[in-house]
Amino acid sequence: MSNVTVQSDRPFVLVVALDLADTESGGYALDQAMRIGTRVSGSQLHVLHVSTDDVKSETLGLLRLYVSEKATALGGPRQQTVAVHVRKGEPGREIAQLATDLSADLIVVGTHKMPRLKNLFVGSTAERVMASAICPVVVAGPRPQPQPSHVIVIEPACADCVQARLETRGASWWCKRHSEHHSVLQHHHLYSYASGLPFAEHDNEVAATGVD
């Protein structure tokens, strides 16, 4: 993707929420925000940590260090202003409030959960931010793991078996090749044929499926 030049008197502003107590999810958010920001010339990145205790200069220092290390790992932000903030309060409210104060164009929050919508949003900080924010919110997290296919695959019928059924009018269900597999496949498909009801007491046509 090529860099985007924003034609405006104001820069493109991103707010990224980062919890220093959960740097895994915060790392996803910061990675994504920096990648977005480097593609917008002259953008501003505002990194916010919300504390439940009184704000301390030590916390601001830790936040600056963490952001610097992540920026270095990503090759460093290019043509991008980076600022860090520490606020006290409820995270959802403070994230949305900072975005409003800055007239932000985008908020990025992180999660360490896999992207399952019900578990991802209900009762989460992301849900509270999305309910209050005046700009779009991006939720960044780990890539989804490939899931096994649930598509039912139907095997084509054996042409020889179909021919055997036609020739015997159903008296024989399998061709010679599949009849020989009876001892292996007898727990998969049993077949009983009668030209009229009731069934005979002894049935010598019980055999296995035609599946290889």
Q: Which residue has the higher pLDDT, 78 or 105?
A: 105
Which tokens belong to 76?
């460093």
What rounded mean pLDDT belongs to the chain?
A: 77
Q: Residue 88: its pLDDT value, please?
A: 92
H or E stretch including 46? Answer: strand 43-51
Q: What is the pLDDT of residues 140-175, one digit of tens each?
A: 877 666 666 677 778 888 899 899 889 888 888 888
* HSE of 61, CA atoms in CB hemisphere, 13 A: 3
pLDDT-based confidence at residue 70 (cuts at 50, 70, 90)? confident
Phi, psi of 15 (to 5 degrees): -115, 125
Q: Residue 210: its pLDDT value, please?
A: 42
pLDDT surpassing 90 at residue 46:
yes
Q: Which domains does the chain have, with CATH numbers?
A: 4-140 (3.40.50.620), 157-212 (no CATH)
pLDDT-based confidence at residue 187 (cuts at 50, 70, 90)? low
Average pLDDT over residues 28-48: 86
Decide: 16 and 63 in contact? Cβ < 8 Å.
no
Helix, coil or strand: residue 3: coil
Q: What is the pLDDT of residues 9-25, one digit of tens each?
A: 788 999 999 888 877 77
40-54, 139-153, 180-194: least confidently modelled range? 180-194
pLDDT surpassing 80 at residue 65:
yes
pLDDT-based confidence at residue 101 (cuts at 50, 70, 90)? very high
Q: Residue 8: its pLDDT value, please?
A: 57
Q: Which residue has the higher pLDDT, 203 or 100?
A: 100
pLDDT surpassing 60 at residue 42:
yes
Helix, coil or strand: residue 79: coil
